[in-house]
């Protein structure tokens, strides 16, 4: 199935987002990068990458107007320190893999086994939403639960 057809549903699901960029993703190369980094490539990860790989969503920070970015990027995900990911997964009580970065502080963005999208960094972890579309909605509106897990 051509990539443009595979990614049509995510584009439609995120059509309401004012600033979203959809890059190209090579699923086989992305999965190979995850495997090489020691992550299990599950059907859920493969499907996530096919739908949402290489997507950036931008919003303005309230008050400052600074650009806040949520970027799903294999390159950025592979830059996340694997021992940190293992620590986050232990804290979550389930497997999780890095999928990108977010915010000015370049928090790690994780995809948890249950579909939750998590921001994780030195200060702790925050659940942004269950499923990427819900997480994007919470990110753009700034309404995700900012309490640390």
Q: Could you tell me which of 122, 124, 100 has the C-alpha nearest to residue 111?
A: 100
Q: How far apart are CA 42 and CA 104, in angstroms?
A: 30
Looking at residue 7, its pLDDT comes to: 53
pLDDT bin (cut points 50, 70, 90) of residue 2 is very low
Structural domains counted in the chain: 1
DSSP reduced 3-state for 63 = coil
Q: How far apart are CA 128 and CA 44, in angstroms?
A: 18
Q: Is residue 123 part of a domain?
A: yes
125 vs 51, residue with greater confidence: 125
Instruction: Give 35-63 pLDDT, tens digit per residue.
Output: 999 999 999 999 999 999 999 999 988 88
Q: Is residue 69 part of a domain?
A: yes
Q: Is residue 146 part of a domain?
A: no
Cα dist from 20 to 14, 71, 135, 139, whole Å? 8, 10, 14, 12
Q: Which domain holds residue 95?
A: 3-141
CA dihedral 67, 69, 75, 81 (to 10 degrees): 100
């Amino acid at each position: 199935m051509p990539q443009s057809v595979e990614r049509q549903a995510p584009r439609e699901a995120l059509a309401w987002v004012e600033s979203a960029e959809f890059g190209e993703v090579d699923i086989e190369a992305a999965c190979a990068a995850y495997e090489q980094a020691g992550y299990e490539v599950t059907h859920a990860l493969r499907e996530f990458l096919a739908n949402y790989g290489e997507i950036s969503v931008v919003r303005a920070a309230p008050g400052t107007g600074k650009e806040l970015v949520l970027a799903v990027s294999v390159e950025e995900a592979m830059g996340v320190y694997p021992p940190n990911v293992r620590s986050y997964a232990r804290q979550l009580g389930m497997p999780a893999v890095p999928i990108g970065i977010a915010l000015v502080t370049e928090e790690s963005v994780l995809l948890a086994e249950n579909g939750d999208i998590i921001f994780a960094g030195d200060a702790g972890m925050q659940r942004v939403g269950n499923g990427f579309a819900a997480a994007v909605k919470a990110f753009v509106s700034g309404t995700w639960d900012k309490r640390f897990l």
